[in-house]
């Protein structure tokens, strides 16, 4: 039988503490809120009153319910008023000694059955618990900001926490309407450990000039469906806050990937803390504003830079698979004449039929007129010979992800295409420069990595190896804008932007599971409910395919030789066992 919590205490009434008080009071629980002095106590009370008043104005809380909620909250400056509470949550500033002092003082006030909980986002719960006389009754209860809105609560157990205590607090979190996840005591817990490792890697990409801030952010928004790009999110969190979390993660793990990117320290020293300072990775209209304004790093729109653009009127597509037909559809819809090269007439006819089927669906859904459908189809022709692509201004190769096969195709294109034709590969993992090396025109070769399905996904990674001419990059960027895609520029290395950021995060999740740190469901819930991601890592791995994921992770490890990039043994074992995800009915989960 789960314990009934009738009265709880909250220490600290900053933004987070006041939000936690509101959460408890909304659930009908009496709250004793403690602050350091009368001024801070009054400010905390005002915060709760303002938040609940706003909820009433938005129709999310009735006025009578608000009045009852406020009646359940008692604000005080004396820890002695917590003598008879069932649970105390501390939400004081993120300093270990300060939190330890609070818990030591509570030991002298509270009864032996009172549970102590810390809202820390990164400090060791074990280190806090041993400063008390009740380490077995100390847990982490990490709410996410804003606490009344965010569903996730991370419950952190130590090696001595009583299982019954964890279950009691889990039951309480569910009573609050939250989605609790249980994990062990490791810096960053689940969400921050996975999130900040990814953010730190993105900062490193920016610092090394591998990709610009807008390109990094657009890649993860449009390629993965993330609500915010990594650098915009860093600005929202605050660079100083992010630095402290990474520092604590590195202190506990000694994992080099947790060591804050050096540019963070430089920016913090210069006062570039993010939105709250008006400048971070981006520049904002004023401190605290979310409005981004142009600055010296803002790139020009596609087609508006000084580079000479090559005229693109006729586009060739090599391949007849799903990606190739999607690319052909995209270009034809944009008004380009498209020639699809297939290995046989039947393959070419099949590609046109696939485009027709896709367009028909759009007509049925009212997204495309019959006239536009017919006009688009009229733009597409087929050929079985590479010579049929001779007059194309741009040729996009979209065949098997095999370097030998792609190099053979580029050699054939090199022989038949007119001078100045841009040759692009849609590879997602192979070196673009290897394709360029198989031609006599490496300056004209570039990567155009479309995402599947090409007709729907808005992102194209434009990959320029060191051999690519600047006007080729500028032309392809302009073409992407014309076909209503979002081009992001990056260098020619394994994973480009999206896969290089996404798959280490997925691999970290597998390692976390392998260490029995948290369950599949809890890790997925943490990333969906805590970070707003469209899917949890294990749900995504099962969709992508564990074999595909393993191949990408192997290529990343081979390129960068970073220990944390080495595929988790558990992933290797699942692939060996044939558990490849949804396509086989079994992966990290079983499917009917």
Active site residues: 121, 142, 154, 192
Residue 123 CA neighbour count, 13 Å, CB half: 22
Q: Report phi then psi at 454, rounded to 5.
A: -60, -30
At 592, is the pLDDT very low, low, confident or very high (cuts 50, 70, 90)?
Answer: confident
At 370, is the pLDDT very low, low, confident or very high (cuts 50, 70, 90)?
Answer: very high
pLDDT exceeds cutoff 80 at 352: yes
Tokens at 513, concatenated: 């599971």
At 302, is the pLDDT very low, low, confident or very high (cuts 50, 70, 90)?
Answer: confident
% of the chain residues with pLDDT over 90: 95
Q: Does residue 139 contact residue 114 with C-beta atoms inside 8 Å?
A: no
User: From the CB of residue 215, how many other CB atoms can be counted at a distance below 10 Å?
Assistant: 21
Q: Does residue 48 contact residue 70 with C-beta atoms inside 8 Å?
A: yes
Residues 6+ apart with CB under 8 A from 269: none
The model's pLDDT over 540-552, given as tens digits with 9 standing for 90+, comes to 999 999 999 999 9
Mean pLDDT of 224-249: 95
Q: Does residue 24 contact residue 98 with C-beta atoms inside 8 Å?
A: no
Q: Give the whole-angstrom CA distance, residue 328 versus residue 318.
A: 10
The model's pLDDT over 441-499, given as tens digits with 9 standing for 90+, comes to 999 999 999 999 999 999 999 999 999 999 999 999 999 999 999 999 999 999 999 99
Q: Give the whole-angstrom CA distance, residue 54 versus residue 61.
A: 9
The model's pLDDT over 243-259, given as tens digits with 9 standing for 90+, comes to 999 999 999 999 999 99
- pLDDT for the residue 415: 97
pLDDT exceeds cutoff 90 at 436: yes
User: SS in 3 state form for 337-398?
Assistant: EEEEECCCHHHHHHHHHHHHHHHHHHHHCCCCCHHHHHHHHHCEEEECCHHHHCCCCEEEEC
Q: For the packed helices 345-364 and 322-333, what is the interaxial angle rounded to 10 degrees?
A: 60
- pLDDT for the residue 122: 84
Comparison of pLDDT for 429 and 264, the residue scoring more: 264
Q: Give the whole-angstrom CA distance, residue 486 versus residue 302.
A: 10
- pLDDT for the residue 308: 87
pLDDT exceeds cutoff 90 at 301: no
Mean pLDDT of 518-535: 95
The DSSP symbol for 581 reads: B
At 1, is the pLDDT very low, low, confident or very high (cuts 50, 70, 90)?
Answer: low
In this structure, of 48-52, 116-120, 186-190, 256-260, the range with the lowest mean pLDDT score is 186-190
Q: Name the average pLDDT for the chain.
A: 95
């Amino acid at each position: 039988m789960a314990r009934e919590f009738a009265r709880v205490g909250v220490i600290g009434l900053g933004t987070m503490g006041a939000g936690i008080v509101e959460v408890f009071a909304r659930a009908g629980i009496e709250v004793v809120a403690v602050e350091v002095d009368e001024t801070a106590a009054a400010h905390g009370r005002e915060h709760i009153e303002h938040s609940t008043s706003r909820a009433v104005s938005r129709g999310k809380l009735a006025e009578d319910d608000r009045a009852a909620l406020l009646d359940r909250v008692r604000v005080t400056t004396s820890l002695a008023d917590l003598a008879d509470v069932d649970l105390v949550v501390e939400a004081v500033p993120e300093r270990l000694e300060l939190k330890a002092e609070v818990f030591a003082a509570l030991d002298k006030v509270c009864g032996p059955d009172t549970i102590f909980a810390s809202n820390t986002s990164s400090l060791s719960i074990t280190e806090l618990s041993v400063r008390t006389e009740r380490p077995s009754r100390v847990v982490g209860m990490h709410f996410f900001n804003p606490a009344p809105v965010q569903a996730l609560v991370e419950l952190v157990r130590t090696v001595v926490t009583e299982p019954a205590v964890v279950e009691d607090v889990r039951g309480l979190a569910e009573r609050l309407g939250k989605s609790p996840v249980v994990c062990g005591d490791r810096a960053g817990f689940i969400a921050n450990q996975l999130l900040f490792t990814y953010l730190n890697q993105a900062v490193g990409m920016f610092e090394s000039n591998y990709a610009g801030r807008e390109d990094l952010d657009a890649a993860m928004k449009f390629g993965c469906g993330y609500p915010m790009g990594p650098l915009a999110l860093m600005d929202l969190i605050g660079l100083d806050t992010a630095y402290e979390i990474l520092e604590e993660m590195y202190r506990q793990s000694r994992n080099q990937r947790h060591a804050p990117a050096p540019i963070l320290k430089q920016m913090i020293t210069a006062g570039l803390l993010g939105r709250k300072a008006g400048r971070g990775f981006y520049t904002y209209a004023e401190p605290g504003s979310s409005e981004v304004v142009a600055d010296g790093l803002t790139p020009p729109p596609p087609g508006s830079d000084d580079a000479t653009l090559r005229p693109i009127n006729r586009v060739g597509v090599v391949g007849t698979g799903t990606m190739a037909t999607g690319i052909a559809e995209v270009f034809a819809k944009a008004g380009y004449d498209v020639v699809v090269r297939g290995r046989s007439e039947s393959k070419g006819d099949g590609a046109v039929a696939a485009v027709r089927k896709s367009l028909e669906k759009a007509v049925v859904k009212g997204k495309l007129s019959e006239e536009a459908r017919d006009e688009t189809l009229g733009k597409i022709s087929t050929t079985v010979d590479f010579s049929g692509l001779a007059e194309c201004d741009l040729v996009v190769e979209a065949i098997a992800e095999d370097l030998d096969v792609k190099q053979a195709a580029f050699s054939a294109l090199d022989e038949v295409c007119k001078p100045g034709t841009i040759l692009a590969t849609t590879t997602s993992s192979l070196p673009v420069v290897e394709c360029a090396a198989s031609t006599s025109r490496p300056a004209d070769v570039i990567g155009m990595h479309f995402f599947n399905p090409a007709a729907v996904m808005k992102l194209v990674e434009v990959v320029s190896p060191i051999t690519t001419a600047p006007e080729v990059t500028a032309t392809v960027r302009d073409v992407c804008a014309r076909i209503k895609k979002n081009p992001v520029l990056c260098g020619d290395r394994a994973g480009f932007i999206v896969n290089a950021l996404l798959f280490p995060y997925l691999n970290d999740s597998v390692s976390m599971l392998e260490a029995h740190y948290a369950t599949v469901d809890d890790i997925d819930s943490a990333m969906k409910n805590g970070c707003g991601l469209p899917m949890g890592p294990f749900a995504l791995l099962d969709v992508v395919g564990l074999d595909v994921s393993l191949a990408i992770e192997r290529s990343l490890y081979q390129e960068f030789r970073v220990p944390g990039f080495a595929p988790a043994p558990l992933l290797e074992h699942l692939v060996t066992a044939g558990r490849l995800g949804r396509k086989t009915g079994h992966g990290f989960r079983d499917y009917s």
